[in-house]
Amino acid sequence: MQVHLAADAPHQAAIRAALIAYSRANTYVASQFADAVCSCGGREFQLEVDESAGAAVRYCAVCGDGHAIGDSEDYLADAEVEPCFCLCGSPIFEITVGVALYADSDDVRWLYLGCRCPGCGVVGCYADWKNEFTGHRALLALV
């Protein structure tokens, strides 16, 4: 499957590369990706995550809109999300989600939450968890 990468989003390519490297070490290699873009077009977000609950919420730095990433909405009731910060202290990130799939399947096996700090450029996997969503396209459409 071709991954669509907008010409104006070179930074997301760096996040994808970081997620591939991280996920190789986790056995389940990320193969499908989606970049977080707010409905207002914003690409920078504050991020709150509860890795053990498998839930993350992003808040647009431009319009403030909050959005539960992927299927996080289903797990937020039992989650205690905490804000993420870059090593430099900034709470603002560009976000890309990667998923690993079951072999010969469209179904999700593991989810990786990748971020890049637009302030200092540091890229990393900020959280990952087991996610068994049926059909990666539907899940990634909710990033």
Nearer to Zn ion, 55 or 117 (CB): 117
Handedness of CA 84, 89, 93, 97 (dihedral sign): negative
CB under 5 A: which stretch of 14-22, 29-37, 79-87, 128-136 binds Zn ion?
79-87
Matching residue, tokens 């087991």: 130
Shortest distance (Å) from residue 107 CB to Zn ion: 30
- Which of 5, 21, 62, 141 touches Zn ion (CB under 5 A)? 62
Print the binding letters for residues 28-47 with Zn ion: x by CB under 5 A, - otherwise: ----------x-x-x-----
Beta bridge partners of 113: 97, 127
Neighbours of 14 (CB within 10 A): 15
- Residue 53 vs residues 25, 66, 71, 81, 102: alpha-carbon distances, Å: 22, 18, 11, 9, 21
The correct pick among 86, 99, 111, 140 for binding Zn ion (CB under 5 A) is 86
Q: Which is nearer to Zn ion, 108 or 117 (CB)?
A: 117
Beta strands 94-101 and 108-116, pairing class? antiparallel
Please give the residue ranges that form the binding site for Zn ion (CB under 5 A).
Answer: 38, 40, 42, 60, 62-63, 65, 86, 88, 90, 117, 119-120, 122
